[in-house]
Amino acid sequence: MPEGMIGQSPVRVDGRAKVTGTAHYASDMAVPNPAWAFLVTSAIARGRVTEINEAEARQVSGVLDILTHRNMRGEVQDAGFFAGGGYTSTTMRPLEDDRVHHDGEIVAMVLAETYEQAREGAYRLHVHYAEENPAAGFDAEGAELVSAKDASKGSFEDPAVGDADAALATAAVTVEADYATPTQHHNPIELFTTTASWENGRLTILEGSQYVHGLRNGIAAQLGMDPSLVRVESPFIGGAFGSRGSLTQRTALVAVAARRLRRPVKLVATRDQGFTIATYRAETRQHVKLGADKDGKLVALVHEGVEVTSRPDPYKVAGTQTTCRMYACPNIRTKVSILHADRNTPGFMRSPPEVPYMFALESAMDELAVKLGMDPIELRRVNDTMHEPIKGLPYTSRSLMQCFDRGAEAFGWKQRNPEPRSMRDGDWLVGVGCASTIYPTHLGAATARVTLTPNGHARVQTAAHDIGTGTYTVVAQAAAEGLGLPLEKVVVEMGDSELPPAPVSGGSNVTASVCTVVMQACEQIRARLAAAAQDGPLKGRDPATLRLVDGTLRAPDGTAEPIADAMGRASNGAIEISAENIPKGLPPDSLKKLYQGRQALGAGLEGKEVAMAAFGAEFVEVRVHSRTAEVRVPRLLGAFAAGRIVNPRTARSQLMGGLIWGMGGALLEATEIDQRRARYVNDNIAEYLIAVNADVPKVDVLFVEEEDRQVNPLGIKGLGELGNVGTNAAIANAVFHATGKRVRELPIRIESLL
Amino acid sequence: MRPFSYERVPDQAAVRRGVPQSATSRAAPVPTMLLAGGTTLLDLMKLDVLRPERVLDINTLAPKLSAIEADAQGLRLGALARMAAVADDAAVRREFPVVAESLMLAASGQIRNMASLGGNVLQRTRCSYFRDVSYAACNKRNPGSGCAALDGYNRLHAVLGTSEQCIASYPGDFAQALIALDAVVEIEGPQGARRIPFAELHRQPGDRPDVETTLNPGEMIAGFAIPAGPWARRSRYVKVRDRESYAFAAASAAVALDLDGDKVRQARIALGGVATVPWRATAAEAALAGQVLDEASAERAAEAAFRDAKTHGENDYKPELGRRTLVRALLEAKRMEIA
């Protein structure tokens, strides 16, 4: 592997700006003379708004305008559900009519000179409802169950192979169990904010976004504008985790308000409003059946899941697509259904399909290992495969067992006494557990512009986003390597829809998708410099062999010319290259969809010729108090193989964060729902519990080397979502080992173990 | 938040003259609240739950009301002493471990640095239906409107001291230490200064959940006096909660033991996270008096403590967890090495 910036661990190029407060997030960006918006959200989950009494609110000093369905009907057009090829997080249009579809739906927006006045106005706006009995979700009267296949109108098929039921009937050992996962909310620290301003018919939106190009096209469609008249800026993002991936209702409302008031409008929604005006991870119930022969080889797998969604939107994550490809198994049957309830529409949340569905599969695998009297790692080994079992496609690489072996050694797995409830430290029961983790290697079409200036500085422009993952840094590394420049001579501009489009920062695709196209642009620059070099000291060298290294254009024999001189031959000024890339295996219309701002990721496990995924093994130690049953986690360890690691420092942070979040997901995080009222109850981050430092004493991340040039020319597999996939099951498995009690419903709380 | 006037109280005399009429205004009393650390009041004002028209900042009194004094008589704590300062005080940690632990295990470092002791014991419930004005039914916030928690989400709600009108749990920790140790509250107000047992400060909800304390209009807490006693050093606060830090108790127990060998001369027990008010478990104390403290007697005491518990669905686990928490606290206190 040539030496270069890719694979090194520079600190984040934006780190200093962030820790010194000079990095401006969307709501930090100043606009002249803004009016402030405050949302009023519904106090019921189902029914109608019968009356809105504005008199008292209008009297509040500074109140400028109040938007309700009475003056907004028809203002915001349908821009299509994002999961159906459109743009919006829900097909419910904001303030379209008097209907209330879910708890916390926006029913009014109060605009005032200051934030405080808008808030007071909102508190003095009296909304009256005709309430109907809502269905909160599972077990609720009135909730409507449909198969994902039927809901998809033919675009979704439940993967299956062989005859799972027949194989189960004759299997030597079987496991059958029900699992459940809770509603969870992203709760990024940056609240959901939007600023809109108009100038000469052009709209500027400042909003933390994982897809500025999608937001631009979506808002244009909603407002009936040409997308070229809309600009979306999102230079920094204070956490997203999927919550900023699609267009939510608030954006269009703020834009309309700004148009009505003829001045910029700022909205900073409150923490509790964030639970209902954006998306979330829906609760699931799952049923798993495993059949194995006496040596542990799987002969049958049945995985059925039901996911909650809103009334109108058939959102699903369908993690069976992943679980059916995890292990070698000749007979597989899966089924996903969705349950329409009076809830807001769910959406992406870090590893959307894998987190709930892998919890069920990896718990069931542990139960099978117990039943077989087998080490759970050995159970994974006998079922490891280099071909996914549904279509038999080869994995381009799969280092699952290497991860288990490295992880087991570092963790000290051998010291475990497999007997449940056999390990103890004073009043605490000790348990260890492990689970596989997987994340499909998604890729997207991407574009980028790279400019090399005569004095050897580079500028990279692409409408990608740094959602806190380190994208600014890894993209700078790619350009530095491609152009043979030190990192500090590369400037990266992202998070602006005026830049060349890049895909949604979702599905862990960005490092691979964007670095690839940036490298292509750099290669074109190199080729131009090399072609022009024939007039100088590199005369006679084959241009294809000339490389950009250490600020020079260099031949294999060591002859080199400073980049500034080479530039002088190739161009009168800067060299500016725009590149576009459609990754191998993606349909040709991927680029067109990208320019339209639609979601068009591909590859992963559902390609036509190969299957691509990153793998890992996660290990945890838990302690459960023998009397009071609190679960604490002194150690988390993950070993991961994800192709070429562009920046081990930022990659480690991603995986560490994933392990920690997975732990929190297993033990702490749940959005509580008042089942009678179908309303979220703990809608704040004092009571919606997220792991704090005291919960995570020790986290270790190991990288298992993996070379895979089939996934993409740089050999990169995305890993942003890999870390939190296996942790839920690893914790549950460790809790079983500590206590002898199998908990199949998350989160595992004190009362689960009393 | 709604507009309010903000005034700094000039001196303690102003408080004695009567808080509602104090400072600059001689007009008719307006809904007035005192501001100390602000960690509860400001939150609830932003949520539109509390709507004072006047906020009186009493931090001007901090120089006189921040005492942390331990002597042979016991411990005196000023109402404006900050939680962190008391939790960190060497004498408090040595002589009254249950006080230091109850404070240290509460809230977060940032909040402990801001929050005052007086404000802490008056902290309002975390009942979600109380804290969210979009719920019509809350007898505490809106007397006579009903209680949404009874048939709503009540995992963290009380099982002791509840009524048909309210099951909101008292959220604090420090108060359990105070009530267990027979602390006295020093109160100042228009009618002068008075002292009452801490156990008489809070009211169970009964049919008036909106009236939470026995403080009269215009009165404020000036401090706390905790008497010395042979149980004080062998005292412990066990808090069981979902996460390791910054979480309210699912159940907690403050215990202080006066032991004669293995035998209990006197046990003082208070329970948190399970009751509507700071809860002295007198039946449990009586069950232990004169007994050898062991697993069996601790369990009998715990049984007595929760005999009258009433649950509402999601909090069905609380009596069992409360019992186990108390047993754990008693046995851990017994094991303590006392210098």
Could you check whether B5-61 and B235-335 share the same CATH topology? no
pLDDT value for B19: 56
Residues of A in contact with B316 (CB under 8 A): 751
Instruction: Tell me whether residues B243 and A695 touch, CB distance under 8 A.
Output: yes
Residue from B1, B40, B134 whose CB has the most chain A CBs within 10 Å, to mutate: B134
The domain defined by B5-61 folds into: 3.30.43
Residue with tokens 């009186």: B56
Rounded to the nearest 10 degrees, the angle between the axes of helix A510-532 and helix A471-483 is 20
Q: Give yes or no: A493 in active site.
A: no
Q: Does the structure show a pLDDT above 90 at A66?
A: yes
Q: Tally Cβ neighbours within 10 Å of residue B271.
A: 32
Nearest-CA neighbor of A150 among A158, A142, A140? A158
Q: Min CA distance, B300 vs chain A (Å)? A: 15
* CA-based R_g, chain A, Å: 27
Question: Cα separation of A396 and A355, whole Å?
Answer: 23
Is A505 within 8 Å of A240 (Cβ atoms)?
yes
Alpha helices for A618-726 (secondary structure H): 648-667
Q: Does the structure show a pLDDT above 80 at B24?
A: no
Is A579 within 8 Å of A517 (Cβ atoms)?
yes
Q: For A381-437, what is each residue's pLDDT tens digit?
A: 999 999 999 999 999 999 999 999 999 999 999 999 999 999 999 999 999 999 999
* CATH 3.30.365.10 matches A444-599: yes
Question: Cα separation of A650 and A647, whole Å?
Answer: 6
Nearest-CA neighbor of A318 among A362, A345, A354? A354
Rounded to the nearest 10 degrees, the angle between the axes of helix A354-372 and helix A648-667 is 70
Tokens of A719: 């890993």
Residues of A in contact with B327 (CB under 8 A): 627
B328, closest residue in chain A (CA to CA): A627
Which position among A207, A687, A721, A751 bears the catalytic label?
A721
ipTM exceeding 0.90, yes/no: yes
* CATH 3.30.390.50 matches B235-335: yes
pLDDT value for A63: 98
Q: Min CA distance, B134 vs chain A (Å)? A: 5
Is any Cβ of chain A less than 8 angstroms from the Cβ of B321?
yes
B49, closest residue in chain A (CA to CA): A123
Q: For A490-507, what is each residue's pLDDT tens digit?
A: 999 999 999 999 999 999
Tell me where in chain A the CATH 3.30.365.10 domain(s) lie: 145-184+281-441+607-753, 444-599
Instruction: Tell me whether residues B321 and A120 touch, CB distance under 8 A.
Output: no
Instruction: Tell me whether residues A668 and B241 touch, CB distance under 8 A.
Output: no
Q: What residues does each domain of chain B span?
A: 5-61, 235-335
Is any Cβ of chain B less than 8 angstroms from the Cβ of A674?
yes
How many Cα atoms sit within 13 Å of A75 on the Cβ side?
21
Q: For A298-354, what is each residue's pLDDT tens digit?
A: 999 999 999 999 999 999 999 999 999 999 999 999 999 999 999 999 999 999 999
Question: Which member of A628, A672, A691 has the closest CB to residue B153?
Answer: A672
Tokens of A600: 């068009």
* CATH code for the structural domain at A145-184+281-441+607-753: 3.30.365.10
Taking residues A73-85, report their average pLDDT: 95
C-alpha distances in angstroms, A28 versus A35, A98, A194, A250?
15, 34, 11, 18
DSSP structural state of residue A88 = B
Taking residues B126-145, report their average pLDDT: 97
Question: Cα separation of A208 and A192, whole Å?
Answer: 8
Instruction: Tell me whether residues B243 and A689 touch, CB distance under 8 A.
Output: yes
Q: Which residues of A226-239 are buried (b: 16+ CB within 10 A; e: fewer)?
A: ebeebbbbbbbbbe
pLDDT band per the 50, 70, 90 thresholds, residue A603: confident
Residues of B in contact with A668 (CB under 8 A): 242-243
Residue with tokens 């894998």: A354
Question: Which member of A677, A683, A689 has the closest CB to residue B247?
Answer: A689
Residues of B in contact with A629 (CB under 8 A): 321, 324
Edge-to-edge strand ranges of the sheet holding A47-53: A99-100, A47-53, A126-131
Residues of A in contact with B325 (CB under 8 A): 627-628
Taking residues A167-178, report their average pLDDT: 98
For residue A564, give the 3-state DSSP assignment.
helix
For residue A121, give the 3-state DSSP assignment.
helix
> What is the DSSP pairing of strand A332-340 with strand A298-309?
parallel
The answer to whether the bond into A556 is cis (omega within 30° of 0) is: no
Is any Cβ of chain A less than 8 angstroms from the Cβ of B335?
no
pLDDT value for A116: 96
Instruction: Tell me whether residues B317 and A750 touch, CB distance under 8 A.
Output: yes
Is any Cβ of chain A less than 8 angstroms from the Cβ of B328?
yes
Question: Cα separation of A1 and A396, whole Å?
Answer: 19
Question: Cα separation of A677 and A343, whole Å?
Answer: 11
Q: Does the structure show a pLDDT above 80 at B21?
A: no
Element (H, E) at A634: strand A631-641
Which runs of E-coded beta strand occur in A490-629?
490-493, 547-549, 552-554, 560-562, 575-581, 602-603, 613-625
- Residues in CB range of A468: below 8 A, 6 or more apart: A237, A238, A239, A240
Q: Does the structure show a pLDDT above 70 at A49?
A: yes
Q: Min CA distance, A490 vs chain B (Å)? A: 40
Q: Does the structure show a pLDDT above 50 at B27?
A: no
Q: Which A residues, 265 through 294, put their C-beta within 8 Å of a C-beta on chain B? A: 272
Phi, psi of A337 (to 5 degrees): -125, 160
Question: Cα separation of A663 and A685, whole Å?
Answer: 17
The type of residue at A372 is L
Q: Does the structure show a pLDDT above 80 at B282?
A: yes
Residue with tokens 């309303």: A679
Is A15 within 8 Å of A247 (Cβ atoms)?
no
- Residues in CB range of A30: below 8 A, 6 or more apart: none
Question: Cα separation of A324 and A327, whole Å?
Answer: 7
Instruction: Tell me whether residues B242 and A689 touch, CB distance under 8 A.
Output: yes
Q: Min CA distance, A203 vs chain B (Å)? A: 32
Instruction: Tell me whether residues A674 and B153 touch, CB distance under 8 A.
Output: yes
pLDDT value for B13: 79
Domain A31-132+189-239+244-277 class, CATH top level: alpha beta
